């Protein structure tokens, strides 16, 4: 039984059907509300039912998509009946060939994953990239090879259900509160990400942020060898950066000014990706050249355009408070920042001081707007825009040359959009449609 019929669920159904399994599928939404799913299931010969305890009853095993909470009642009942419940990544790991770099973190994992894949590709190392970015892992099995690296972005949703899945190089960029609507407590969220390191073996490597206490704690939960990256611990083995250079084991190999990504947090991402690539056999000079040619990631502090001296940046992937704080830190000031969407149980009060210092106004959108307004209080001027279209128009009316209009919502997008990708693309379309005022 496959539960959840987004991209990962459909990839699982296709993967299992191709290997001769008898597959059925469930989702909490009716089939009519799942675009393109009916056609895919019909092609595969997979029957569909609405998700319920009864639908799970006859299964020999249940594979859940990342979007399906692992602790729902139907799955708890299935476990009590002895039915195995596993995630898409766990299933794929049984069949995936080659070595794996698994990358997690509250923020920065997409950039780090894309950059690690870019470095390996530029070095001529056979590589494929997927997981929480791009292809589901089950869709990567067919193209995996023994001499290849699989670079996987792995979310807490994907990691909480792994048992035997193994990353030969595990990476954690940072851990700050996120997805508390799903995991309920920060401790549960930390534990879910920690599974990446708990399933590693002797001879593997754990690339960890020495400046993040949760990451430091993972070192005691793994049999892998820790490899550290840091801004604060000069001279330690592993990666270190100061304001001018990035070092590996004390040797400078990359100037910070040559990193084509904004913000101190992106230097952390570079250190993490570089450490993973170096452990995979890429020389430091090749890593440095690849970093300089990295184009960045869509929706992650992505420059959209300059119009009448005003810069527009799309950071739709800033779906939590820490990511938004990092985006704010990447700019000197003059910000018109769009906040809001679907709340994830977040505390927005930590944004009060950064916004007081750097923002001219906050434009509130979406379902979380009343909560954000209450948390920010009088720290910054608040404009209740409602939608991103109205927020862009309102900011554009008042922004002056030298200002920046920034989408960095600190929230999920599911109140008004299908995902952060659609939200970011809508923002970019709105910005590109603006006409000069002068």
Say if 328 falls within a structural domain: yes
Query: pLDDT tens across 33-56, in order?
Result: 998 999 999 999 999 999 998 999
The residues near 202 (Cβ < 8 Å, ≥ 6 apart) are 223, 224
What's phi and psi for 100, nearest 5 deg? -125, 135
Query: pLDDT tens across 286-303, in order?
Result: 999 999 999 999 999 999
- Stretch 260-277: mean pLDDT, rounded? 95
pTM metric for this prediction:
0.85
CA pair distance 199, 168, nearest whole angstrom: 10
Interhelix angle 264-279/321-329, rounded to 10 degrees, is 110
Query: pLDDT tens across 156-166, in order?
Result: 999 999 999 99
Regarding whether 164 and 30 lie in a shared domain, the answer is no
The residues near 67 (Cβ < 8 Å, ≥ 6 apart) are 4, 6, 8, 157
Counted residue by residue, the chain has a size of: 438
Regarding whether 265 and 309 lie in a shared domain, the answer is no
State whether residue 13 is helix, strand or coil. Answer: helix
pLDDT score at 177: 73
Query: How many domains, the chain?
Result: 3
DSSP state of 342: B
Domain that holds residue 121: 90-292
Say if 437 falls within a structural domain: no
What's 193's domain CATH number? 3.40.1190.10
Where do we find the tokens 């570079």?
A: 270
Regarding whether 190 and 136 lie in a shared domain, the answer is yes
Regarding whether 156 and 33 lie in a shared domain, the answer is no
H/E element, 335? strand 335-340
Question: In 272-315, at which residue ranges do the beta strands (DSSP E only) sit?
Answer: 302-307, 310-314
Which of 48, 83, 118 terminates a domain? The answer is 83
What's 17's domain CATH number? 3.40.50.720
Say if 57 falls within a structural domain: yes
- Stretch 374-382: mean pLDDT, rounded? 98
CA pair distance 301, 407, nearest whole angstrom: 9
Nearest to 139 by CA among 7, 4, 3: 7
| Cα–Cα separations (whole angstroms), residue 163 to 84, 159, 202, 221, 379 | 11, 9, 16, 15, 46
- Stretch 262-291: mean pLDDT, rounded? 97
Regarding whether 102 and 153 lie in a shared domain, the answer is yes
Share of the chain above pLDDT 90, in %: 91
DSSP state of 417: S
pLDDT score at 180: 67
Per the structure block, which two tokens stand in for 250? 């004390």
Alpha helices (H) along 22-108 = 37-44, 53-56, 73-80, 88-93
Instruction: Judge whether residue 151 has pLDDT over 80.
Output: yes
Question: Which bin fits 98, alpha (ψ -120 to 50), beta or left (φ > 0)?
Answer: left
Say if 142 falls within a structural domain: yes
Q: How confident is the model at residue 273 (pLDDT cuts 50, 70, 90)?
A: very high
DSSP string covering 361-403, please? EEEEESTTHHHHHHHHTTSS-EEEEESHHHHHHHHHHH--TT-
Q: What's the whole-number average pLDDT of the chain?
A: 95
The residues near 47 (Cβ < 8 Å, ≥ 6 apart) are 24, 25, 41
Instruction: Judge whether residue 219 has pLDDT over 80.
Output: yes
What's phi and psi for 93, nearest 5 deg? -60, -25
The residues near 37 (Cβ < 8 Å, ≥ 6 apart) are 5, 10, 27, 31, 48
Which of 83, 115, 145 terminates a domain? The answer is 83
Q: How confident is the model at residue 176 (pLDDT cuts 50, 70, 90)?
A: confident
The residues near 336 (Cβ < 8 Å, ≥ 6 apart) are 359, 360, 361, 363, 395, 398, 399, 403, 404, 405, 406
Q: How confident is the model at residue 181 (pLDDT cuts 50, 70, 90)?
A: confident
DSSP state of 250: T
What's 418's domain CATH number? 3.90.190.20
State whether residue 277 is helix, strand or coil. Answer: helix
Instruction: Judge whether residue 304 has pLDDT over 90.
Output: yes
Regarding whether 49 and 106 lie in a shared domain, the answer is no
Say if 407 falls within a structural domain: yes
Give per-residue burial for 400-429: e unless 16+ CB within 10 Å, then b.
eeebbbbbbbbbbbbebbebbeebbbbbbe
Cβ atoms of 398 and 371 within 8 Å: the answer is no
Q: How confident is the model at residue 120 (pLDDT cuts 50, 70, 90)?
A: very high
Regarding whether 168 and 69 lie in a shared domain, the answer is no
Please tell me which residue, 382 or 71, carries the higher pLDDT value.
382
Q: Are strands 404-407 and 335-340 parallel, antiparallel or unpaired?
A: parallel
Regarding whether 79 and 164 lie in a shared domain, the answer is no
Say if 438 falls within a structural domain: no
- Stretch 109-125: mean pLDDT, rounded? 97
Regarding whether 306 and 281 lie in a shared domain, the answer is no
């Amino acid at each position: 039984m496959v539960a959840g019929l987004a991209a990962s669920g459909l990839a699982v159904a296709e993967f299992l059907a191709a290997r001769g399994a008898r597959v059925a599928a469930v989702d909490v939404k009716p089939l009519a509300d799942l675009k393109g799913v009916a056609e895919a299931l019909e092609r595969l010969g997979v029957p569909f039912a609405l998700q319920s305890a009864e639908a799970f009853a006859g299964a020999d095993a249940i594979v859940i998509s990342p979007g399906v909470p692992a602790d729902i009642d139907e799955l708890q009942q299935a476990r009590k009946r002895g039915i195995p419940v596993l995630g898409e990544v766990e299933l794929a790991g049984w069949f995936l060939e080659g070595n794996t770099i698994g990358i997690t973190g509250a923020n920065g994992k997409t950039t780090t994953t894309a950059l690690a894949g870019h470095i390996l590709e530029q070095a001529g190392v056979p590589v494929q990239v997927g997981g929480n970015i791009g292809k589901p892992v089950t869709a990567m099995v067919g193209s995996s090879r023994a001499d290849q690296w699989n670079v996987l972005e792995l979310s807490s949703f994907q990691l909480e259900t792994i048992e035997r899945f193994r990353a030969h190089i595990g990476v954690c960029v940072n851990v700050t509160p996120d997805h508390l609507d799903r995991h309920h407590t920060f401790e549960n969220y930390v534990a879910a990400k920690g599974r990446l390191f708990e399933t590693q073996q002797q001879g593997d490597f754990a690339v960890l942020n020495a400046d993040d206490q949760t990451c430091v704690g993972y070192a005691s939960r793994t049999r892998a060898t820790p490899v550290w990256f840091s801004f604060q611990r000069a001279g330690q083995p592993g990666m270190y950066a100061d304001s001018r250079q990035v070092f590996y084991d004390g040797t400078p190999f990359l100037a910070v000014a040559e990193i084509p990504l904004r913000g101190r947090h992106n230097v952390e991402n570079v250190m993490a990706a570089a450490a993973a690539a170096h452990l995979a056999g890429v020389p430091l000079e090749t890593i440095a050249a690849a970093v300089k040619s990295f184009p960045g990631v869509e929706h992650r502090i992505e420059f959209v355009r300059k119009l009448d001296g005003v810069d527009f940046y799309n950071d739709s992937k800033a779906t939590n408070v820490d990511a938004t704080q990092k985006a704010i830190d990447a700019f000197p000031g003059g910000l018109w920042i769009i906040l809001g969407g679907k709340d994830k149980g977040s505390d927005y009060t930590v944004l009060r001081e950064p916004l007081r210092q750097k923002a001219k106004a906050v434009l509130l959108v979406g379902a979380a707007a009343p909560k954000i307004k209450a948390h920010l209080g009088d720290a910054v001027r608040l404009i209740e825009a409602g939608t991103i279209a109205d927020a862009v128009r309102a900011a554009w009316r008042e922004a002056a040359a030298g200002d920046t209009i920034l989408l960095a919502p600190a929230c999920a997008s599911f109140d008004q959009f299908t995902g952060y990708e659609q939200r970011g693309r809508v923002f970019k379309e709105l910005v590109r449609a603006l006409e000069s005022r002068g």
